[in-house]
Amino acid sequence: MAFLTDRKRAVGLGASKSGTAHFWAMKKSSVALLILVPLFVFTFGPALGGTYEEITAYYSRPFPAIVAALTLLVGFKHFNDGAQVMIEDYVHGLAEKITILLLTCVSYGLAGIGIFAIARLAL
């Protein structure tokens, strides 16, 4: 016979696991994107319509390259967190774990490809 209190039976169940960490991660990346996206737009604008040589010269300066890389990195992290929450809400079981794993691999892979492309332009 188990003499468990209601609180002891509820420990480890429900939304008391990592919901707060996801919430704050999304809020922090949202604020970062609130700053980075306008900076990216204003630094990317002068490069539009340029030749390959002009673009490589423009992104060889540190500020536009860093802003573009940070925007890609934070943007894909924000996308990954938001899509993961959506998957956790609507997909269950083994399919949930596989989908989250694939989503994480794709989002970090695309972020890595983007940062590699910026690094190739900058160096």
CATH number of 20-122: 1.20.1300.10
The neighbour count for residue 2, using CB atoms within 10 Å, is 5
Per residue in 18-66, pLDDT (tens digit) is: 678 888 999 999 999 999 999 999 999 888 999 999 999 999 999 999 9
pLDDT at residue 94 in the model: 95
pTM of the model: 0.82
Task: Read off the pLDDT band of 69 (50, 70, 90).
Answer: very high
Pick the closest to residue 116 from 61, 77, 45, 68 (CA basis): 68
Collapsing DSSP to helix, strand or coil, 83 comes out as helix
pLDDT at residue 22 in the model: 83
C-alpha to C-alpha distance for 6 and 103, rounded to whole angstroms: 37
Share of the chain above pLDDT 90, in %: 69
